[in-house]
Amino acid sequence: MRWLACTYLFISFIYHIFGLEKRSNQLLNKGKKLQGQAHSRQEAIYAALEKEKQNREEAQRSYEQKFYDNPELNTTNWQLHQKRLYSCRASRFKDCSYYVGPRGGVYYINYNGRKTYC
């Protein structure tokens, strides 16, 4: 579409050089109209892509928030595990529950029922 607009503008210029003003103006208007349509199409595509990107980011945030709010859910994301540990003082990471102790140390309960500090 854009190449067609450029072609009309070029031919309009050629007609203008040869003194065919009426035909030149017609082609110039037609070329500008096509350029405007191409530009508005590009803007619509760009807006749709931006909206899709925002929707993906929002879905990702809500998914992470679901896991962030519930430290009982298992995760393999290390950053999320760290955030949950220090906000909720507990987190489940790779099928093992970790807790923050009273003095700030991180521990888990081993198979004997004893605290094992990391």
pLDDT digits (tens, 9 = 90+) for 55-109: 999 998 888 888 888 888 888 888 888 888 988 899 999 988 999 988 889 998 8
pLDDT tens string 10-59: 666 666 676 777 766 776 676 777 776 666 677 777 888 888 999 999 99
- One-letter amino acid for residue 103 of the chain: R
Same domain, 50 and 3: yes
What's the CA angle centered on 37, arms 17 and 28, to 5 degrees? 15
Residues contacting 24, CB < 8 A, separation 6+: 12, 13, 15, 16
Same domain, 4 and 45: yes
> Is the full-model pTM beyond 0.75?
no
The CA distance from 41 to 2, in Å, is 11
Determine the structural domain holding residue 20 and report its residue range: 1-67
Same domain, 96 and 52: no
The CA distance from 96 to 102, in Å, is 19
Same domain, 63 and 17: yes
Domain count, the chain: 2
Same domain, 112 and 75: yes
